[in-house]
Chains A and B, each alone.
Chain A
């Protein structure tokens, strides 16, 4: 009977497994295989080049610019979408804010419902030195704006896009944190109140440890999202000026579909996969640790 059951389970699992193998694992291996060749979508030649594409990747200046930009996105996202949004969530959950919590929660959350294209184009128009509203406002308060072109200058463009991204998604993590904080038993806080703990102490010794799972998951979502960063950059600067705002994903896309260097693009794609895979492993490890605790 047990054997029969196992067979049935196997048969039920087969379609899903096939689907995962064909749609997920197979492309990864095909991608790895293709990264050892020099080829283009439009050319008939398919030359084996060994690890040349990987060597080229590590010698490519733009690759490092992209990594640097991904790191900027990662750091800013973790600081804002984990750090700041955690503070906002706990402030909103505090007793004196409970009444107006709904209002603020909605205000913070609405941007994350907007399409990236809408946010990107709006941001582009706001910071545009010729038609935007930011520069005239800065000028009003006495700032010399003649050289302020946030998206058009290499040194400021990445930070501007990252800031826009934070504005959009901070509310989303705030909501997740609020839900987690609401699940903390109220008696813990009451006990702390009796002991005379301050708000900061309650946050440090009750809130933080109780929601560490949510923090972990949000961090992983935020970090992997930053590594795959594509759409915000594509809509606002498309990697420019020059390659100043290029991320791994935008660069991979350009290399593959504009420069038609599919082999090199495959190598870049495999690199992104490895990085996100390692973070994924850490995620699983994080879960295990929690279970052991």
Chain B
């Protein structure tokens, strides 16, 4: 009898622990314990030079708001894309999380997974007005704000001043001059452009910029929308062909599919190449590695035959944002945290300490960002439109097809075949989103 009771107790204990184990997955979000509030925060700045700033900022916020705890998780760029998808499917989004703009964010907004920040911004219009409008706009869907930008970026060509001086080169302002620069460097036995695509995404910077040059804005927006994407405009073909032509001309050098961006930018900094396409958010890397005097930047010349309606006025760039989950139990506190992170003083501190350009009006100065970034932001005022990063502003399926096919393109696949793949993916996505 004793044994039986023991057995029953053991069974009950095991069953209860099993049930408890099954149920523990559901409390990933915020918790309120008495007066204490815990918010979960998923971010993508694990790099040594960035993470300290974010941890300090969280500590400052916690100190200013007793009883509030922020559970900070900080993972890599690629990992966060997938982690968010996994968390979204499990219904377990963190309270506050990082997200790129465009479709990357819109898919959450459309599914009702994000807290609508519009009422908070209506209440505090100063907050809304503090952001650079072109960067705030990337998180707007159907006139509603779903996120706030904390980091901004614009794409430029960077050049190594010594390499240019050694080869008696002038900074190019047109496509023909750009090609001439590449030819001169190639003739001098140097690989003109630092480019590595083993990670696949780097081609998207090029093609995204060329798409913006070749294709009219309205057409592009319709194609980038998952519900109506067709990619039939001939500009898309020319855009891919332009990238393949650069590769075929040997301006990228050999074996581009087995080098990655991080490798080639180190090599650029070491003087192995003349040019690299990069974003202002990465300028601090070059400043640290080469010094402000060793490199310069110039606006991306558009291909000579590009005739999109925004060809002169558009540049690829975008914002990186923080959003709040719709299921957050303490939305007011989460919004308060976002306000803290994006208020001008804090935003400027972010740029000073990490080199990550903020997205606040008047937030980039020579003092906090250095001369190069400050100048680049002044130059960017020539642009009136921002083309969001192509891999972020289209549906994941279209983006991944684009990237995989372009990688094959660098290995010989034709522009027509690449575009066919993209069109097929876009069609499939459009059908699913009807």
Contact = CB atoms under 8 A, between A and B. Distances in A.
A241 B397 contact: no
Nearest to B107: A42
B89 interface: yes
Interface string B394-433: 0111001000110110110100000000000000000010
Given A15-B15, A131-B263, A240-B198, A149 B396 contact: no
Interface stretch (B79-87, B295-303, B331-339): B79-87
Given A43-B111, A131-B263, A241-B411, A152 B255 contact: yes
Contacts of B86: 41, 257
User: Which secondary structure characterizes the binding site on chain B?
Assistant: helix
Interface stretch (B4-12, B29-37, B366-374): B4-12
Contacts of A257: 82, 85-86
Contacts of A130: 255, 258-259, 263, 267
Contacts of A259: 396-397, 400
Interface in A256-273: 256-262
Contacts of A14: 11, 15
Contacts of A258: 81-82, 85, 396-397, 400
Given A42-B85, A241-B411, A260 B15 contact: no
A68 interface: no
A260 to B, nearest CB: 5
Nearest to B196: A130
A129 interface: yes
B46 interface: no
Interface string A173-196: 000000000000000000000000
A30 interface: no
B257 A149 contact: yes
A149 B258 contact: yes
Contacts of A8: 3-4, 7
A261 B226 CA distance: 13
A254 B404 CA distance: 12
A288 interface: no
Contacts of B110: 42-43
Contacts of A43: 107, 110-111, 432
Nearest to A261: B397
Interface string B221-258: 00000000000000000000000000000000011111
B220 interface: no
Interface in B65-88: 81-82, 85-86, 88
A11 interface: yes
Contact of A15 (B14, B111, B198): B14
Nearest to A129: B255
A153 B411 CA distance: 7
A22 B18 contact: yes
Nearest to A43: B111
Given A15-B14, A18-B18, A38-B432, A152 B404 contact: no
Interface residues of B, number: 45
B197 to A, nearest CB: 8
B112 interface: yes
A44 B408 contact: no
A281 interface: no
Contacts of B3: 8
User: Which secondary structure characterizes the binding site on chain A?
Assistant: loop
Given A41-B89, A259-B400, A241 B257 contact: yes
A293 interface: no
A151 B260 CA distance: 12
Contact of B407 (A11, A240, A256): A240
Contact of A242 (B107, B255, B256, B407): B407
Contact of A42 (B88, B400, B407): B88
A40 B110 CA distance: 13
A109 B10 CA distance: 42
B112 to A, nearest CB: 7
Given A19-B18, A42-B111, A149-B258, A11 B8 contact: yes
A257 B405 CA distance: 19
A259 B405 CA distance: 15
Nearest to A132: B258
Contacts of B198: 151-152, 237, 240
A41 B85 contact: yes
Interface in A32-52: 38, 40-44
Interface in B251-281: 254-259, 263, 267
A240 B259 contact: no
Contacts of A241: 257, 407-408, 410-411
Nearest to B91: A41
A128 interface: yes
Contacts of B98: none
B165 interface: no
B134 interface: no
25 contacts: A8-B7, A11-B11, A12-B10, A18-B15, A19-B18, A22-B18, A42-B113, A44-B112, A129-B254, A129-B258, A149-B257, A152-B256, A240-B404, A240-B407, A241-B257, A241-B408, A242-B411, A243-B408, A254-B400, A256-B85, A257-B85, A257-B86, A258-B81, A258-B82, A262-B89
| A-B residue pairs, 10 tightest by C-beta | A41-B89, A152-B258, A242-B408, A15-B14, A152-B257, A259-B397, A149-B255, A129-B255, A241-B257, A257-B85
Interface of A: 8, 11-12, 14-15, 18-19, 22, 38, 40-44, 124, 127-131, 146, 149-154, 237-244, 254, 256-262
Given A129-B255, A254-B400, 12 more contacts: A12-B11, A22-B22, A42-B111, A43-B111, A43-B432, A127-B258, A151-B198, A240-B404, A257-B86, A258-B81, A258-B396, A258-B397
